[in-house]
Amino acid sequence: MPPRVEKRWEIYPPLPPAVDTALSAYPFPVRQLLYNRGIETHEQAEAFLSGEALLHNPWLLSDIGEAVERLLWGIDHGEQIIIYGDYDVDGVTASALLYEALQALGASHVRVYIPSRFDEGYGLNIAAIEELAGGGANLIVTVDCGIRSIDEVAYARQLGLDIIVTDHHHPQSELPPARVVVSPKRPADPYPEKHLAGVGVVYKLVQALFEQRPVPGVEPTDWLDLVALGTVADVVPLVGENRGLVRQGIVQMRQAKRMGLAALARVAGYDLTRVNAEAIGYILGPRLNASGRLETAMDAYQLLVARQPEVCAHLAQVLDNRNRERQRLTQEMQRRAEEIIHDPHSRTLLVVFEEGFNEGIVGLVASRLAEAYYRPAVVGVRGETFSKASCRSIPEFHITEALDQCADLLDRHGGHALAAGFTVRTERLSQLIERLEEVAEQTLRARVLKPVLRADLEISLSEMRPDLLVYLQQFEPFGLGNPEATFVSRGVEVRSARQVGAEGRHLSLKLSDGRFIYDAIAFGQGERLGEVTSRLDVVYSLGVNRYNGQETLQLTLRDFKPAE
């Protein structure tokens, strides 16, 4: 177990008097929570709490009209249309959404191709393009990939294929020579929401398609369950349009109409009618991702589009089994990575390459290392000719920009500020690591690397009441950019504390401010039992514990320390 990284607590500044007055219709804790999320007027608060969706016009996306025209022409002329996806949840949901939408529009020759993580890697590749062209494909539509595949798109055009790229990743200095590139991250693209997931970009394309050619009884909103699933799983900011899309999509998911999702929830022992963003992130998403991490993501895709109960039940069990194997492999690889790293807190960048690592798991291990040591982490598989890695970072270090500074050494790379991946010739690996370490050192050497735990406000425990919880539920869905409301209470009395769960991984406590006693749970903090004193300062969120048909208020502890 690595030494715990101490967190620095920060509490938002109090709301100004003018904002306090403007939001006076709400109780004080809610006013502060709204202000912390950039809401300063009554009208903004009403729209936010009601879940009023801020949905932008899809036609604002550059060249989307040409993409719509080309797709409808292909449908009308019976072309073979290939949806070229990605093996994560965002790519799989985007593939399923576009497939079902094109079928509803009358496409008779449309199929999905998702490359193998192990044999082909991320994005377009030459071998796949040749195979698809040889099989009679006329049009390839990429989803959640393609915007950095300049050479591959150029080759496909040479073979006579038309390419429509839909993607949400950062482009390079030039766009691929596709027939159309649809992405809010194109330079000077006027679309207001820059942080759509890949499935979100596809949803905007589908909106435009159905506005151009309406189909009786079919609406783009029919696929918002897939949009919610992919958007949350891809950890894009849940603000603005994303928040509206996910909120509507979760309502749709709770109706349990998609048979594959209902089957997946059943094998996980979860009630889909209660689904929220947290359940997508920790229950449904990992099971869908496990398919592409260990074998083929096509099983996850087939589950989402399946309509036969027995097929759904079988595929759901397959994914659940793979997720259990994924958990085991992740633990083993993390232990091995920690054996290799020496004195991680003295480093600015954590780098681990091993021949025996599983390529589908390295991203999870990198995430755990980055969280455990609060350092950017690169974990990869060293191959004979090529080596591949996943990167996870911290807010102080934009990992994709760092890789851009090493582009001359890389065969391919791409990603976001906090997550990326790359392929490098093994003969260049040492040089690459040296340069990445130099970039990290230049960026981070003057910084104190300590994670910040931000709390919304300091409050007494006795103010944690059911009526506050009703308001908090209106702040959902929680995620990046819209975190769960977090509070600080000081000097609370500890009535009891004990380890619970497998191997005592969690802490169960009873806390009191002298008036009320609250149940509290500290997930993954069981080893800190010895740090519990008679009085604690605590950072926590407020939720509901459901057990044996009973519902009670429960505090989820994010951190604690002896009372000052």
Give the DSSP letter string of 332-357: HHHHHHHHH--SGGG-SSEEEEETT-
Distance of CA 10 to the CA centre of its chain: 25
Domains of the chain, start order: 8-50+452-562 (2.40.50.460), 58-219 (3.90.1640.30), 333-444 (3.10.310.30)
Looking at residue 544, its pLDDT comes to 87
For the entire predicted model, the pTM comes to 0.90
Q: Quick one: which of 241, 251, 292 has its CA closest to 272?
A: 251
pLDDT (0 to 100) of residue 546: 79
Q: Looking at residue 56, what DSSP letter applies?
A: -
Closest CA to 227 of 145, 353, 143: 143
Q: What is the pLDDT of residues 483-504, one digit of tens each?
A: 999 999 999 999 999 999 989 9
Query: How do beta strands 550-562 and 535-547 pair?
Result: antiparallel
* Helix intervals (H) in 415-507: 429-444, 466-474
Structure confidence at residue 437 (pLDDT): 95
What is the DSSP-derived secondary structure letter of residue 53? Answer: -
| CA atoms lying within 13 Å on the CB side of residue 341 | 27
Q: How far is CA 279 from CA 78, 131, 269, 283, 556, in A?
A: 40, 38, 12, 5, 15
Three-state secondary-structure class, residue 102: helix
pLDDT of residue 2: 57
- Can you list the residues of the chain whose pLDDT is less than 50? none
What is the spatial distance between Cα 189 and Cα 62, in angstroms, rounded to a whole number? 6
64, 94, 120, 143 from 85: Cα distances, Å? 19, 7, 12, 5
Cα–Cα distance, 230 to 227 (Å, whole number) = 5
Residues 234 and 228 sit within 8 Å (Cβ to Cβ): no
**What pLDDT does 346 receive?**
80
Element (H, E) at 224: helix 224-233
Query: Is the CA virtual torsion 37, 39, 42, 47 positive or negative?
Result: negative
Q: Beta 377-381 vs 350-354: how paired, if at all?
A: parallel
